[in-house]
Amino acid sequence: MEERISMVHGSGGAATSELIGSIFAKEFASKTLDKMEDSAVVEGAGKIAITTDSFVVTPVTYPGGDIGRLCICGTVNDLLMRGAKPKYITCGFILQEGLEVAKLEEIVHSMAECAREAGVEIVAGDTKVVNGNGELFINTAGVGFVPEDREVSAERVCVGDAVIVSGNLGDHHAAILGTRMGIVNEIQSDNAPLGEIVEALFEADIDVHTMRDITRGGLATVLKELAKTSNTTIELKEEKLPVTPQVKDFCGLLGLDPLYMGNEGKLVALVPAEQAEQAVEAIRGAKYGQDACIVGYVNDNAPGKLHLRTRIGGLRNMEVLQGEGLPRIC
């Protein structure tokens, strides 16, 4: 196997077969994928959740993760937010000529490890090689199955719901930006599969109205969209927002607002207020949920609005992220 990807690896011939066999088939080996058919035939029944995503993060490795782990977490978490149990993933790789094979092997291995952690099977894929400067991009599709008794949707948000976040805000965004800018700190990306958190909520019999993963645009953008969809008002309490001292310092240095910074291993859940403390306890008992807390409530004071109650008692109107923000964080 050559040390770098070249156009011949996308020819469909011997070099392509060698690439697939020595890296992808080795790491993603399964009864389904090993057949190398044109499509995967898998078991399934009931309500099906389907998602697709593309990952173009730069740099492809960063403190706490890489594009391989990121693409599994991002796909799995999108399925989980509808109450689904993730089962299958497909992945398509766009490889630019000049990519180091060792780097590709590292990323594919990371994907395989994360897929095992998340309990999903990679069942199909594709590889293309294009001209370029040695970058890579990954497209995924995910399939999960939703138990018949689960209905998790923005339409179920209602007045009185508590707003719960599963942990600290802005870590992934800060880790990516800090790496690009050469800022030395200890901030790590939070990219993580959230299956244990979601199952903990349902095992505790929490009536989860809706969930969203807090990715691009940050918590403010996610909740503003939910307020509009449900025609309710969501009010956050500034003093309750969980942000680490390191991320606070980072934001202060660059003039950033953690409410608009993306994560890749956090969710926000809206549940009945009377179950909020029980829900927080369930999340804190699950992997990646130790910093969960209640950050606000839903009311009907100004339908479609997101408000932030400041530390001094003022009320700040929050909109979705304006402008580009930080591109290519996922």
Give the model confidence (pLDDT) of 294-317 as tens digits: 999 999 999 999 999 999 999 999
**Cα 137 to Cα 53: distance, rounded to the nearest angstrom:** 11
**Per-residue pLDDT at 44:** 76
Measured CA distances, 28 to 45, 119, 124, 211, 297 (Å): 24, 13, 9, 30, 43
* Spatial separation of the C-alpha atoms in residues 75 and 330, rounded to whole Å: 11
Q: Which pLDDT band, with edges at 50, 70 and 90, does 322 fall under?
A: confident
222 token code pair: 């996610």
Q: Is residue 94 part of a domain?
A: yes
What pLDDT is attached to residue 11? 54
The answer on 139 and 220 residing in a single domain is no
Domain boundary, last residue among 119, 146, 173: 146
Top-confidence residue, 20 or 277? 277
Is 247 found in the same domain as 112?
no
Taking residues 199-228, report their average pLDDT: 95
Helix (H) or strand (E) holding 71: helix 67-80
Instruction: Please answer whether residues 122 and 111 qualify as being in contact, where contact means their C-beta atoms are separated by less than 8 angstroms.
Output: yes
More confident residue, 232 or 330: 232
Q: What's the rounded mean pLDDT across residues 69-97?
A: 96
- 17 or 62: whose pLDDT is higher? 62
Judgement on whether residues 129 and 276 belong to the same structural domain of the protein? no
Is the pLDDT higher at 20 or at 63? 63
User: In which domain, by residue range, is 129 found?
Assistant: 7-146
Same domain, 132 and 194: no
Mean pLDDT value of segment 232-248: 97
Sheet strands (E) in the chain: 47-55, 61-62, 65-66, 85-96, 121-130, 136-146, 161-165, 210-213, 233-237, 267-272, 293-299, 306-309, 315-318
DSSP-based three-state secondary structure for 98: coil
User: Do residues 73 and 193 touch, judged by C-beta distance below 8 A?
Assistant: yes
pTM of the model: 0.90
- Judge whether residue 37 has pLDDT over 70: no
Q: Look at residue 330 and tell me if it is in a domain.
A: no
Residue at 2 is within a domain: no
Do 142 and 158 lie in a common domain?
no
248 is a domain residue:
yes
Q: Which DSSP letter does residue 22 get?
A: I
- Mean pLDDT computed over every residue of the chain: 93
pLDDT value for 133: 94
Contacts for 273-279: CB closer than 8 Å, 24+ residues apart: 273/160, 273/161, 273/162, 273/297, 275/162, 275/206, 275/207, 276/162, 276/164, 278/204, 278/206, 279/162, 279/164, 279/201, 279/204, 279/206, 279/208
Residue 40 has pLDDT above 70, yes or no: no
The reply to whether 138 and 159 lie within a common domain is no
- For residues 173 and 306, membership in a common domain is answered with yes
Looking at the DSSP bridge assignments, the partners of residue 47 are 146
306-309 and 233-237 strand pairing: parallel
pLDDT, greater one: 240 or 43: 240
At residue 41, the pLDDT reads 65
Query: Degrees (nearest 5) of the Cα angle 271, 276, 277?
Result: 160
AA letter at 246: Q
Do residues 115 and 159 share a domain?
A: no
Is 328 a domain residue? no
Residue 239: CB atoms within 10 A of its CB come to 9
pLDDT at residue 138 above 90?
yes
What average pLDDT does this structure show over 172-194?
95
Q: Is 109 a domain residue? A: yes
- Comparing 328 with 324, which gets the higher pLDDT? 328
Q: Are residues 77 and 141 in the same domain?
A: yes
Q: How many angstroms separate the CA atoms of 90 and 108, rounded?
A: 13
Report the CATH number that the domain containing residue 308 is assigned in CATH: 3.90.650.10
Q: What percent of the chain has pLDDT over 70?
A: 96
* 176 and 141 in a common domain: no
- CATH number for the domain including 16? 3.30.1330.10
- Domain assignment present for residue 262? The answer is yes
Co-location of 293 and 183 in the same domain: yes
C-beta atoms surrounding 197 within 10 Å: 27
Q: Indicate the DSSP class of residue 303.
A: T
Nearest to 124 by CA among 30, 218, 256: 30
Model confidence at 324, in pLDDT bands (50, 70, 90)? Answer: low
Do 158 and 72 reside in the same domain of the chain?
Answer: no
